[in-house]
Structure 1
Amino acid sequence: MKDLTYFSYSLSYRMDRKPDSYGNVSIRLQAKIDDLYNNRLRALDKLKCNNEQLLAKIDRFENFLNSTEQHTSVCSLGILKPKPAQPSVHIIYLF
C-alpha cells in the first residue's frame, strides 16, 4: 500500500490531509447521500480527475446508495488513485 496515494473528497468542502509515514496523503470524506449526486462533478473537479470510468463507478455507487433508501445516513466514499505509473482508478466503498 505504500506506493498508493489515497484521495477522497468532502462534499461539505472540508478536507483533512494527513500524510502517512511514507508521505502519502490520506483524505477521508464524510458526505450525506442526498448531496452525492448534485456534487459529483464538483468532486471530480476538485480531484482533477475527469475520467469516464470513474464517472461510471460513481454512478454505480450512487445507484447502490439509492437502493438502500437511507438518504439521511452518512457514508464515506473513498477514491483510491494510484501514482502515475499505475493509471487505473478505483472506487473504494467505506461504510
Structure 2
Amino acid sequence: MLAHAGALPLPVQVMVYQVAASRMALLRAYRWKLVMATCFGVLAAGMLGYAALRAGMAPLHRIAAGTRAVTFTSGALPVDPSLLPAELHEVALALQH
C-alpha cells in the first residue's frame, strides 16, 4: 500500500504483517474440539448400536431360554409365539411341535 508521509515528495510503501500465532492457536483449539467430538460420536454410536443389538436379540434370547426348559416330559416351548416378532413366529411354532 502506498501512502504519502507528510512533506516527502515520494510515496512511502507501507507493509502490514500479521503474526500467524493467533491462527495457529485457533487451529489447535479447533483440532482439539474435532478430536473430542469424534471420540464422543464413536462412543455414542457404539453404545446405541449395542443397545439396538440387545433389543433386537431379546426375542431370540427368550426362545433360547424356552428351549432350555423343554424336557422329554414337557415337549411344548414355554414361549408364546404371539409375543414374538413376525420374523420369529414360524420358528417358535416349529419348536412347539
**Shorter chain as normaliser: what TM range?**
under 0.3
TM (norm. structure 1) is 0.22
Would you tell me which structure has more helix in proportion to its own residues? 2
Mark the structure with the bigger radius of gyration.
2
Q: Which has the higher strand share?
A: 1
TM-score with structure 2 length normalisation? 0.22
